[in-house]
Chains A and B, each alone.
Chain A
Amino acid sequence: MDKNNNNSKPTRRDFIYTLTATLGVLGAGASVWPIVSQMNPDSSVKALSTIEVDISKVEEGKEITVMWRGKPVFIKRRTEDEITKARNISLKELPHPENDKKRVIKDEWLVVVGICTHLGCVPINGKGEYGGWFCPCHGSHYDTSGRIRKGPAPTNLEVPKYKFVGEDKIIIG
C-alpha cells in the first residue's frame, strides 16, 4: 500500500471493481438457483397431478377416500338431510363464510382435500359436533360442507379442482 503509485482516476478503478463484484454476485446467484430449485417437485411428479375416480359404488351417506398428490381426498355422497344442514345456516355464523353451493358441483357430491387447515392432520369422518369431520390433533370441527365451525383451523377444507366425466366418474386435478 505504501508503494501505491496508481495515478489513474479513482472513478474508473472503482467502476471496474463494482462491475466485477456485481457480475460475480449475479453469477453466484445464478449458480445457487439450480441447487435450490432441485428441491421443488420434479417433472414426473408434476405430470401425475390428475387422478380419475369411479364413484358409482359409493352409497348415499357414505364417503370414500382417495389419494391425490400424496394427500387424502374425501369424496362424500351426502344425504338430503346433510345437504339441508349445510345450506340452512347463515353465512354470518361461519368463521370462514362460504356458500355450500359454491363448494360443490353437484349437490349430492362433496369433494374436499382431507387435510385439516390448521396443521395438516387428517380429520375423522362422522365425528364432531356438526356432522362432518373432526380433527383429532387440535379439535377442529367441520360441517357437512367441510367448513370450519369450531376450533383452531383458520379456513374451510380445501376443494380441489375436479370435474365430472359422465355420471359416475370424476377427474381430480
Chain B
Amino acid sequence: MKNILKTLIIALIFTSPLNSAENKTKLLEPNWTFDGFFGKFDRASLQRGYQVYKEVCASCHSMSYLSYRNLGEKGGPEFTKQEVKAIASQYEIQDGPNQEGEMFMRPARPSDKFVNPYPNANAARVANGGAYPPDMSVLVKARKGGADYVYSVLMGYTEDVPEGISLEEGVYYNKYMIGNKIRMPKPINDGSVEYTDGTQATEEQISKDVVAFLTWAAEPHLEERKKTGFKAVVYLLILTILGFIIKKKIWLRIEPKV
C-alpha cells in the first residue's frame, strides 16, 4: 500500500506544471532577497531599479497599472512623500476638459498613473519596428520563470550567434529568450545608469535592481503576503495540533488505549 502511495506522490510531482518545461536552457538564478518564506525587498535596490526603469526602459515600455504614489507605499521602494511628488511632477499628463471645455497639460500628481511612452499600442509598434514592447506592470508574473527569466534575458545577449541561427535585420540573439530571438537591442551595459548611492553600476547590478523593481511592480503586496502567510501558517499549526489532541481525547472515550 505504501508503495502505491509513493507512486501517486511521484506522479503528482511529475505532472506539476513546472515540469512541463519547454525552455531547455537553465535560467540564471541570482539570490533574490524577496525569495523564500521571509523574503523582503531591498529598498535601496528597488529605488535604483526605479531609476533604471526611468532612464532605460521607460522610453519604450509602459507600466500602466502603476501610479506614482505606489513608489512611496509600504513594501515598495518607499520613496518619501516629497520624493514621490518630485518624481511625479517631472511628467506631464493631459487633463480636462476645463471650464472652457479644453483639454490641457499639467504636471502629474502622485495619484496619476505612470505616463505611457506612446499614445497607443499601434504607435508603440510602429516606433519599434513592428514589435510591441510589452507593458511591464505584471511582466514578471506573466513569464514562466518569473524574475529569473527576466533577469536571464537581460543578461542573455551574446555577441557570437550559434551556428544555424540566422538573424534578420533588427533581431538579436538571446540565449534565454524563448525562441532565442529578440527584437529589443541589448538594453543594459556596464554604466548604463549612474547610481548616486555609490553602488557599482555593473551590468549585473543594474539588471538585478531593475528586475527587483519589476517584481515589486508585479506583486506590490509580496512582503505583506509573506508576513501574513507566516503568521497564518504558525497559527494554523498550533490550532491543528490542539485540534488533534482534542480529537484524541474525545475518541479515547470509545477507544481506550491498549
Contact = CB atoms under 8 A, between A and B. Distances in A.
What is the interface of chain B mostly: helix, strand, loop, or mixed?
A: helix
B238 A47 contact: no
Nearest to A66: B99
B37 interface: no
Interface in B203-258: 235-236, 238-239, 242-243, 245-246, 249, 252-254, 256
B69 A20 contact: no
A20 B253 contact: no
Given A1-B253, A3-B254, A16 B242 contact: yes
Interface residues of A, number: 21
Given A17-B246, A47-B111, A48-B111, A57 B99 contact: yes
B77 interface: no
Interface residues of B, number: 20
B71 to A, nearest CB: 12
B116 interface: no
A113 B69 CA distance: 26
Nearest to A2: B253
B49 interface: no
Nearest to B99: A57
B242 A47 contact: no
B69 A23 contact: no
Given A20-B243, A44-B67, A54 B98 contact: yes
A20 B242 contact: yes
A16 B253 contact: no
Contact of B253 (A4, A47, A48): A4
A24 interface: yes
Contacts of B252: 5-6
Given A16-B245, A23-B235, A57-B99, A44 B253 contact: no
A105 interface: no
A41 interface: no
Contacts of B236: 27
Contacts of B245: 16
| Interface-centre pick from A1, A6, A57, A64 (highest chain B CB count, 10 A) | A6
A35 to B, nearest CB: 15
Interface of B: 67, 69, 73, 98-99, 110-111, 235-236, 238-239, 242-243, 245-246, 249, 252-254, 256
15 contacts: A3-B256, A4-B253, A5-B252, A5-B253, A6-B253, A13-B249, A16-B245, A16-B246, A16-B249, A20-B246, A23-B235, A27-B236, A43-B69, A47-B69, A48-B111
Interface of A: 1, 3-6, 8, 13, 16-17, 19-20, 23-24, 27, 43-44, 47-48, 54, 57, 64
Given A19-B242, A23-B242, 7 more contacts: A1-B253, A3-B254, A5-B253, A8-B249, A43-B73, A44-B67, A54-B98
